Amino acid sequence: MELPFSGQPIIPAAHNQKDMEKILELDLTYMVMLETHVAQLKSLVKYAQAAGKKVLLHADLVNGLKNDDYAIDFLCKEIHPDGIISTRGNAIMKAKQHKMLAIQRLFMIDSSAYNKGVALIQKVQPDCIELLPGIIPEQVQKMTQKLHIPVIAGGLIETQEQIDQVIASGAVAVTTSNKHLW
């Protein structure tokens, strides 16, 4: 499956409205929205979409919204992002029920997290995996080869060289909030 952002190797991630405004000036289609407040969410997503951006919303980081099935229903039916990112398998399954681009975020902190992550991916079958930290090309390659699901690398990426390495290892894109890499 070719993801719509596979031609965009860097997906900027906004921590706040100032970051989002900078992203809106960029000649990129996709962006990640992090750390939003539920009361501002609808207007921010509409604003970004009106500017031609496709918003990948990190559901776990919406302040004031519990991350459960009802929250994902709300996000899909009322907010209408272009994709949902979550660490929670139930959120990914619910996003898929809504025909939403579903991105499972995994933290690879040790071999136990890796094994649990693989089992979760096999059960949930997300459209894509966001692997953190993204600075480990070997893990990106291993995850891509084992699961045959596109991988996005994110977290702790600080240089263009690191981006090039993880893309060369099989990642379809890199998410970063580092403005210098946008």
- Average of per-residue pLDDT across 137-164: 95
Tell whether 44 is covered by a domain.
yes
| Residue from 13, 110, 125, 19 nearest 58 by CA | 13
Query: Is residue 91 one of the residues assigned to a domain?
Result: yes
- Please indicate, yes or no, if residue 56 is contained in any of the structural domains: yes
What whole-number distance in Å separates Cα of residue 167 and Cα of residue 9? Answer: 8
pLDDT band at 7 (very low <50, low <70, confident <90, very high): confident
The pLDDT of residue 177 is: 96
Neighbours of 67 (CB within 10 A): 18
For residue 4, is it within any domain? no
What would the pLDDT profile of 42-76 be if each residue is shown by its tens digit? 999 999 999 999 999 999 999 999 989 999 999 99
Residues 6+ away with beta carbon under 8 Å from 68: 90, 91
With respect to residue 181, please indicate whether it lies within any of the assigned structural domains: no
In-domain check, residue 149? yes
Domain tally, the chain: 1
Q: What is the pLDDT of residue 117?
A: 96
Find all residues with CB under 8 Å of 150, minimum gap 6, and list them: 1, 3, 6, 127, 128, 129, 144, 172
In this structure, the number of other CB atoms found within 10 A of the CB of residue 70 comes to 11
Residue-level pLDDT at 139: 93
pTM for the whole thing?
A: 0.95
Q: Is position 162 within any domain? A: yes
Q: What is the CATH number of the domain that holds 35?
A: 3.20.20.70
Compute the residue count for the chain.
Answer: 182
The stretch 102-111 carries a mean pLDDT of 95
Which residue segment(s) compose the domain that 20 sits in? 10-176
At 1 the pLDDT is 44
Is residue 106 a part of any domain in this protein?
yes
